[in-house]
Structure 1
Amino acid sequence: MSDKIVKRKSLEVKVACLQMDIKIGDTENNIKKSVRMINEAADNKAVLIVLPEMANSGYAFDNREEAIALAEDIQDSISVKSWIKVAHDRNVYIVSGITEIDGVDLYNTAVLIGPNGLIGKYRKLHLWEEEFLWFEQGNLGLPVFHTPIGRIGMIICYDMWFPETYRILAAQGTDIICIPTNWTNNETLPNNMKNFGPILAMAAAHSSGIYIAAADRVGTEREMVFPGRSLIVKTSGISIAGPADDTEQIIYGDCNFARTRAHGQNKYNSTKKDRRLDIYDEFLGYK
């Protein structure tokens, strides 16, 4: 046996975003597909793997009864149990959107799962269009989860349109914000854009000095078209993977979370240190 000690740079993490075509109402096959893609990402050395919004159920419900029928209790969720097993088997961390039921209430939720099981969850704060018909607004705040691979925050889709979400998570020391999302086509934008999501992700990563990994879905669901455009962005706001096209695929990005711990614009400036906390209102989350 060699006496050589191999030093691992523990803040270097390979991140993957799974850009999936999800079928509404077909939870069993959606989960099987997600597990296949998680295994492929793990084969390619990904350690943190992000799935789209509501990856278990699909998105465009016809009515509340359908939403309830497709929702899962996180503590007894077939989807979560499947992700826990593959996370344990492959020694990876998974962030995925899921349709959650808690008592009589429904939530658009993201779960964080590691090799030892469920780490935590986040409930979408900002609901979009008909989501108001099915879901309650999120009530768990903006938590940052400390894990062996880094500090992980989560938001979901329309949350991206509110800069406070990124800044509050960054102020709590998050290294990366993982974003399960279901962006839709914006027909007023040029074909090479399709959606403002990637632009917002790049701007937020730059202004807050954090990594961002946004996993969108693809395909068409009840006339709703999903353009893909998943991406992984580094602290400078430059994309290191994506935006992807509109096909099912996995994108990868090598992230070094040491950058989020010592992020600066130059030797004088830092978007974290230069914040005027003596001026900003405490209601913005700065105490």
Structure 2
Amino acid sequence: MVKIATVCMAADPRDKVVNRNNMIAYIEKAAEQGVDLIVFPESILTGVGTVGMQQFNSEDKLAIQKMAELVPEGESTQIFVELAKKYDMYICWGMAERNPERFDATHNVSVLVGPEGYLGKYRKVHLPLCERLYHYPGFGDYPVFDTRIGKIGLEICYDKCFPEVSRTLALKGAQIILGPICWPNMTGSLDDPDHLVHVTFSHARAMENMIFYVDANHCGPHMGGHSQIVGPNPGQLLATTGFDEGMAVAEVDIEGEMNRARIFSMGGSDLLRDRKAGTYGEVTKFNEFNPVWGGRVGEE
């Protein structure tokens, strides 16, 4: 059995140390409960600015740039590495990463550390709204990391709107996909369209790949909260925080629940095994409505 925690919290837009200390408090709380993996929201360490990503704010961009750190050499990653070793725990969080080649270039990254030390990072590929004015996108390597609790894949927020991302992670063997988010809710209602998209996509990504999906969201004004742990079986919401700040914990049987999904939930129909990859060429073709290649430079 694996004990997973997901945190819902707000980020101070100007004080990285405050954010880090709040994160450490949750890590210590999770350690008291014997948690194996804790997941924090997107950009929780360095914040998303004062107006979110729906607008561009020059002062916010400058503040984020100043708070950005190298990964893994930066102070915060090293602090969380030591905590992961101390508490025998995997820790995933979001932050702004400074590109080592250019002081003014940053990336929205998710970082994973564990008892073994630094495991890796993922640079967000799909940048919505004004976020593309704050950060540079990643190349789409979509990493999966071997850990003692299972194979963990990383994506970030808007990425989950594109099923190709989680499918790629699942095809690489991911059993747990971590998707830190900063998802809005302008009305504060469970019927808000943003809330329905957030919850529905997390469930869809889990079910269509028959894996576990964990997201962690911000709380506060106009934020959606509801950090959640979703299982691979239909309607399997294992834990959620609701709108308010807090931590939700679930103890899960990774292989057992995946087996139940892939053997029993659809009468033996395994959605990865039954794929017909050779028929999906249209998915990756360029066209006039989606002409920009988002992969590595030099690739065709």
TM-score calculated relative to the size of structure 2: 0.84
Q: Secondary structure at the match of 1:226?
A: coil
Contact 2:124/2:137 (CA < 8 Å) preserved in 1? Answer: yes
8 Å CA contact retained: 1:22, 1:219: no
Q: Which amino acid aligns with 2:231?
A: K
Query: Does structure 1 residue 41 correspond to structure 2 residue 30?
Result: yes
Taking the aligned partners of 2:121 and 2:193, their CA distance within structure 1 comes to 31
Tell me by how many angstroms 1:125 deviates: 0.7
Match of 2:238 among 240, 251, 266: 240
Distance in 2, matches of 1:214 and 1:247, equals 15
Aligned length: 268
Q: 2:223 aligns with which of 218, 222, 226?
A: 226
**How far apart, CA to CA, are the structure 2 residues paired with 1:186 and 1:270?**
38
Aligned to 1:16: 5
TM-superposed CA distance for 1:268, in Å, is 3.5
Match of 2:19 in 1: 30
Unaligned runs of 5+ in 2: 51-56, 285-300
Secondary structure at the counterpart of residue 223 of structure 2: strand
Structure with bigger strand share is: 1
- Say whether 1:66 aligns with 2:66: no
Letter in 2 for 1:142: Y
Are the structure 2 counterparts of residues 233 and 190 from structure 1 closer, same or farther at C-alpha, using a change threshold of 3 Å? closer
Hey, what does 1:111 align to over in structure 2?
111
Higher percent of residues as helix: 2
Q: What is the aligned partner in structure 2 of residue 99 from structure 1?
A: 96
CA contact (8 A) 1:109 1:122 kept: yes
CA deviation map 1:239-280 (0-9, x unaligned): 0112x3221100011222213367233444111111112322
Instruction: Please name the residue that 1:210 is paired with.
Output: 211
Deviation sequence 1:86-133 (CA, Å, 0-9, x none): 111100001110110113221000001011321000010100211111
Number of the residue aligned with 2:295: none
Paired amino acid for 1:276? K
Report the TM-score, using the length of structure 1 for normalisation: 0.87
1:253 to 250, 255, 276: 250
Q: Which residue type is aligned with residue 216 of structure 1?
A: N
- Name the residue aligned to 2:281: 281
1:89 is paired with a residue of what secondary structure? helix
SS at match of 2:220: strand
Alignment RMSD (CA, Å): 2.0
SS in 1 for 2:274: coil
After superposition, residues 123-142 of structure 1 pair within 5 angstroms as 123-142=123-142
- Percent of aligned positions that are identical: 29
- Partner AA of 1:151 in structure 2: K
Whole-angstrom distance in 1 between the partners of 2:276 and 2:189: 35
Query: Are the structure 2 counterparts of residues 85 and 268 from structure 1 closer, same or farther at C-alpha, using a change threshold of 3 Å?
Result: closer
Provide the C-alpha distance between the structure 2 equivalents of 1:261 and 1:77, rounded to a whole number of angstroms: 40
* 3-state SS, counterpart of residue 278 of structure 2: coil
Secondary structure of the corresponding residue to residue 76 of structure 1: coil
Contact 2:8 2:246 in 1 (8 A): yes
SS in 1 for 2:78: helix
Paired with 2:122 and 2:36, the residues of 1 have a C-alpha distance of 20
Question: 1:206-258: per-residue Cα shift (whole Å, max 9, x none)?
Answer: 111000010001124xxxx212011100001410112x322110001122221
Q: Which runs of 5+ in 1 are unaligned?
A: 1-11
Measure how far apart 1:163 and its partner are. Answer: 0.7
**In 2: Cα distance, 1:92 partner to 1:204 partner:** 25
* Structure 1 counterpart of 2:203, one-letter code: M
SS at match of 1:121: strand
* Structure 2: distance between partners of 1:199 and 1:250: 21
